[in-house]
Amino acid sequence: MEAVEDAERPEEDRLLDANRHPAEVLDFAGVERGWAVADIVPGNGYYARVLSTAVGDMGRVYAYNPSWVAERFGDADAALSLIADRRANMSHHVGDLEDFGASFDQPLDAVFMVLFYHDTGYDVTDRARMNQAIFDALAPGGVFVVIDHHAIEGSGLDAVETLHRIDASLVVAEVSAAGFVLDSESDMLANPDDPRDISVFAPQIRRNTDRFVYLFRKPQ
C-alpha cells in the first residue's frame, strides 16, 4: 500500500509494521482517498502519518489527544503538532474525550483508537459519553476501529491499569451501547501464545500481544 511505503515515514515506524500490519488494518477499515478520519491518541504519529497519505490531498486527518495525555506527555504532543504542521491535510487537536469532535469542521468517515481504549478504564474518562461523542462525530455509515490488548475473558476492567489490557467483550458492550453495530472483527493481530495475564510490557510479549481488531459502524 502506498501509505505504508511513504518515504517520509521514519525508520522506527517501519520496524513496527511487522507486528502492527498497518496496510491490512487500513484495508480492513475500508479507508479511501478523500475520507475524513480521526486518530485518537496518535502517540508518535504512527497511524496519523499512514492515514494522512492514505486519504490524500482531498482527505483530512484529525490527530486528537485527550487533555490529560497532552499534559502528561508534553514532548510527544508537541512533536505531533509539528507533524501536523508539515502535512497540509492534518490538524492537531487537544480536548476532553467526552467532547470529541467538537472542534472538527466536518463529519468523519472513520475514527481509529489503537491500543488506548484500556487507558480510558483507569483515567477519569466517562466512556459512555466518549463513545456517544465518537458516534455523533461520524457520518452515517462511518466506522470506529478499536484495537487493543486482550485481557482474560470476563475480567472486565481488572487489568486495565496493572497489565494495560481490557476484556474485549466489555469494549463491545460499551461501544454498542452508544448505537454502534459491530460490523466485523479480525484476527490479524492475534497471538495464541500470549497468556493474557502478564503486562503488555513484559519482554517476552512486548509488541507481540494478542490483540483484538474490531470495526464498529454507525448505522445509515
pLDDT one digit per residue (tens) for the chain, 220 residues: 677 877 778 888 898 899 999 999 999 999 999 999 999 999 999 999 999 999 999 999 999 999 999 999 999 999 999 999 999 999 999 999 999 999 999 999 999 999 999 999 998 899 999 999 999 999 999 999 999 999 999 999 999 999 999 999 999 999 999 999 999 999 999 999 999 999 999 999 999 999 999 999 999 9
Copy the grid coordinates of residue 216: 464498529
What's this model's pTM, rounded to 2 decimal places? 0.96
Q: List the domain range (segments joined by +) for residue 34.
A: 2-217
* Rounded-to-integer distance, Cα 95 and Cα 43, Å: 15
Number of domains in the chain: 1
Q: Please report, for the domain that includes residue 132, its CATH number.
A: 3.40.50.150
190-198: long-range pairs with CB below 8 Å, 24+: 194/150, 196/150, 196/151, 196/152, 196/165, 197/152, 197/159, 197/163, 198/163
- Can you give the pLDDT at residue 129? 98
Is 197 exposed, middle or buried (CB count within 10 Å of its CB: 0-12, 13-18, 19+)?
exposed
User: In this structure, are strands 181-186 and 211-217 parallel, antiparallel, or unpaired?
Assistant: antiparallel
User: In this structure, are strands 90-95 and 181-186 parallel, antiparallel, or unpaired?
Assistant: unpaired
- Can you give the pLDDT at residue 4? 82
- Can you give the pLDDT at residue 1? 66
* Cβ neighbours for 180, distance < 8 A, ≥ 6 positions apart: 131, 135, 144, 216, 217, 218
Three-state secondary-structure class, residue 99:
helix
Nearest to 90 by CA among 6, 149, 172, 155: 6
Copy the grid coordinates of residue 77: 504532543
What is the distance, to the nearest Å, from the Cα of residue 65 to the centroid of all Cα atoms in its chain?
11
Three-state secondary-structure class, residue 19:
helix
